[in-house]
Amino acid sequence: MALPYLEAVLCFMILMYIFETYLDIRQHRALKLPTLPKPLVGVISGENFERSRAYSLDKRLPVLTFYAHLTSSSWFWKKSGELATNVGLNAENEIIHTLAFLAGVILWSQITDLPFSLYSTFVIEAKHGFNKQTIWLFIRDMIKGILLSILFGPPMVAAIIIIVQNGGPYLAIYLWGFMFALSLLMMTIYPIVIAPLFTNSLLFQKESSHSNAYMYGFFKNKRIVLYDTLIQQCCHEDEIVSVIAHELGHWKLSHTLYSFVAVQRQTIGLPIWPGRISNLTPGLHHKSCRLNSSPPRTILLPRM
């Protein structure tokens, strides 16, 4: 008797969706309470609390969405192969097929997310006085994001597929080694190369009134970034010093390094168990309904 793999996964997804919706409802009810919590009495004013509460309520868009990822992924996988063939590419090539599949998924995600992003930026953020971004800057950042995906995505995906194809019994180690090197690279170049393409930390006030400060990097490549909006909002020099001291505390206690090590410990296990399960239960791939001559490989990638 074949095990109901697809049904079990769908049931798990539905249960997770119900649980997360329950948490969202509880959070929404908590935000509806107009009374200042006792621990915050004397810490912030009632006016600031009310503004923060109103902003948090508006940020929680009253839209409930649930996607049957397995079904949509199967459809995209089939159609991406057909599209690759129609434009003269070899859909039997796993790298080409996968890149076409991911391109379709990313494009669909951009289309479905666009209305919510526009509403969040130009309605909610503007209502509460945070948005200074023009529609041109919004479109520019969106185009930059797409171009970065085109630039970095295909080499990363191709490298992962090649590792999976040739990894053999040491696949998990090779895949983790690649992700480890990639994580180090991204943590080094993201704040220096990628982040400034979207928000110039020296001129952040042109796009938003939000303020922030963070520390990044390892060893001699450590920096603390203060947004100009944060400096403008601090009324006294002592406030700026306290923010810097907070970030220096992260450096002193090696929080960035500890967090990185914790993520790597999780990452090393991600390629192992899904691969073992899929190898021991070959029917799992057939249940995914992906119409392809060879079953798709099971790859789980950590979020970076």
Spatial distance between the Cα atoms of 284 and 260, rounded to a whole number of angstroms: 33
250 is in an annotated binding site: yes
178 and 160 Cβ atoms separated by less than 8 Å: yes
Q: Tell me how crowded residue 136 is: count the other CB atoms within 10 A of its CB.
A: 8
Known catalytic residue at 47: no
Give the single-character DSSP code of 294.
Answer: S
Q: Tell me how crowded residue 12 is: count the other CB atoms within 10 A of its CB.
A: 10
Q: Tell me how crowded residue 227 is: count the other CB atoms within 10 A of its CB.
A: 22
94, 125, 207, 247: the catalytic one is 247
The H-assigned helical ranges of 120-207 are 125-127, 135-166, 171-189, 195-198
- E-strand spans in 204-259? 213-216, 223-226
Contacts of 260 by beta carbon, 8 Å cutoff, 6+ apart: 183, 187, 218
286 is in an annotated binding site: no
The annotation places the binding site at: 246, 250
Residues of the binding site for Zn(2+): 246, 250
Which positions are catalytic? Answer: 247
